[in-house]
């Protein structure tokens, strides 16, 4: 009889050990070629580039804090993370965010021993996604390690040595899912339109090359020299562009008539004919539509407001708020990996008390509307709630408003008046 605590099923019928995203039905996005395609989208497309830069700048500038544990434990964590060799904490967060276009990001945990004997981080070394060949996964879907190919050699990285960030863990897929995945078809379509738009403009300005040659040059019995001449004419016709192909040299031989005299018909002629198309296709609108689809796929379509005559301030604000909420969700993913994998590992190697382990907490991405907050506090106060004095609430409000910390020794007239009232009672 099968034990009731045994795991029988599997997450999916896809084995990640065969390579990255081999179950992807768009062939171009399978394996490492998918990583390269996302890299092309990230670096070449202006809309995608702008969205990713906005995400990076907003998230990397968030203030992190340590909560819980003793003061000594919090100081250990802050010293460990903010004094690593090489990259700063902000640069590390920026490297982590490469999981947005690629679906995942990996960092090797490199430790060092300090003079006092404690073990801390030397660095969290990033491992480029395009060097990852495949994940090593057991039959139950547990990730055991990563095979990396770089500089003509294979490296196996055990999973306990890694920090593994991913956008989603659906079916425990180790390579996650790129935020650009849903934008791929729109990106591919707009690129095709841009290409044909460029060809159309070029042909409209230059004309379509037409070359006339004797029929014997095109026959199957043409000599090698005739074939070579035809190939040369093909290159000339293909490359003819104003300011690039500055001249064309053609033979001036003419056909002879029935009497053997030279006629006015040249044996080889070259001409440019203008386009006779009459349809006015506004490719700009088509490309704009695809750009809006790309932005919408990552909830950043508010950046396209103003590109057309549609949209309102209220709509843009609601869309921007949704985008910022999504960024805070990704911040939660980063914090989760740090608190569930990095800090417990550092506590274990040092033999620290787990009960004294703090956690990393990110601040907010979305700015607080101080006017709305002030109105809320005013309504709460008018309802009879005693909000002040409250050092914790005051500190939070100062942080939200970007105000300096208050002096704990300053006179507190409100507190003294309140304490006087309580004494009289």
> What are the mean pLDDT values of the chain's consecutive 10-residue runs (425 residues total)?
66 65 84 92 92 91 90 94 90 95 95 93 94 87 88 86 91 88 92 82 69 82 87 80 58 72 76 62 82 84 61 62 86 95 95 94 78 78 75 73 69 55 46
Res 187: pLDDT: 93
- Tens-place pLDDT, residues 270-324: 776 665 555 567 788 888 888 888 888 887 777 666 555 555 545 566 777 788 8
- The domain spans of the chain are 16-180+324-348, 208-273, 371-424
What are the tokens at 47? 């809309």
What are the tokens at 116? 């006092």
Identify whether the C-beta of residue 363 lies closer than 8 Å to the C-beta of residue 324. no
- Between CA 54 and CA 306 the distance in angstroms is 18
Res 425: pLDDT: 43
CA angle, 403 then 407 then 409, to 5°: 165
- Tens-place pLDDT, residues 390-417: 777 777 777 766 667 766 666 665 555 5
> For 258, which DSSP code?
T
Closest CA to 203 of 234, 232, 237: 237
Give the count of beta carbons closer than 10 Å to the beta carbon of residue 75: 13
Res 414: pLDDT: 57
Please provide the size of the chain in residues: 425
- Is the Cα torsion angle 56, 57, 59, 64 positive or negative in sign? positive
Identify whether the C-beta of residue 45 lies closer than 8 Å to the C-beta of residue 189. no
3-state helix, strand, coil split of the chain in percent (to 5) is: 50, 15, 35
Residue that the structure tokens 């390690």 belong to: 145
């Amino acid at each position: 009889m099968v034990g009731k605590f045994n795991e029988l099923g599997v997450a999916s019928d896809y084995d990640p050990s065969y390579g990255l995203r081999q179950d992807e039905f768009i062939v171009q996005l399978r394996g490492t070629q998918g990583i390269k395609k996302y890299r092309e989208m990230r670096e070449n497309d202006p809309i995608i580039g702008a969205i990713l830069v906005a995400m990076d700048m907003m998230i990397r500038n968030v203030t992190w804090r340590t909560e819980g544990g003793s003061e000594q434990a919090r100081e250990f964590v802050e010293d460990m993370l903010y004094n690593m060799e090489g990259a700063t904490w902000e640069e590390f967060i920026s490297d982590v965010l490469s999981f947005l276009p690629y679906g995942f990001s990996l960092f090797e945990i490199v430790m060092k021993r300090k003079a006092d004997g404690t073990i801390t981080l030397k660095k969290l070394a990033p491992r480029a996604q395009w060097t990852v060949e495949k994940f090593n996964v057991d039959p139950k879907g547990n990730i055991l390690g990563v095979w990396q190919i770089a500089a003509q050699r294979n490296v196996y990285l055990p999973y306990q040595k890694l920090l593994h960030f991913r956008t989603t863990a659906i079916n425990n897929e180790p390579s996650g899912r790129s935020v650009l995945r849903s934008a791929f078809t729109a990106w591919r379509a707009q690129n095709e339109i841009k290409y044909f738009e460029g060809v159309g403009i070029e042909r409209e300005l230059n004309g379509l090359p037409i070359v006339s040659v004797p029929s014997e040059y095109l026959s199957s019995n043409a000599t090698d020299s005739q074939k070579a001449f035809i190939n040369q004419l093909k290159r000339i016709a293909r490359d003819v562009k104003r300011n690039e192909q500055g001249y064309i040299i053609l033979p001036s031989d003419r056909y002879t008539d029935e009497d053997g005299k030279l006629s006015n018909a040249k044996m080889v002629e070259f001409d440019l004919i203008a386009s006779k198309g009459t349809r006015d296709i506004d490719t700009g609108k088509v490309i704009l539509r695809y750009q809006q689809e790309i932005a919408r796929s990552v909830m950043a379509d508010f950046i396209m407001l103003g590109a057309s005559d549609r949209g309102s301030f209220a709509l843009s604000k609601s869309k921007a708020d949704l985008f910022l909420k999504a960024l805070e969700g990704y911040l939660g993913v980063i914090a989760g990996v740090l608190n569930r994998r990095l800090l417990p590992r550092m506590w274990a190697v040092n033999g620290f008390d787990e009960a004294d382990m703090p956690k990393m907490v990110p601040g907010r991405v979305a700015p607080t509307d101080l006017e709305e907050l002030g109105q809320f506090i005013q309504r709460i106060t008018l309802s009879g709630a005693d909000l002040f004095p409250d050092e914790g609430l005051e500190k939070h409000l100062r942080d939200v408003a970007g105000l300096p910390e208050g002096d704990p020794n300053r006179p507190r007239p409100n507190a003294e008046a309140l304490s006087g009232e309580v004494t009289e009672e």
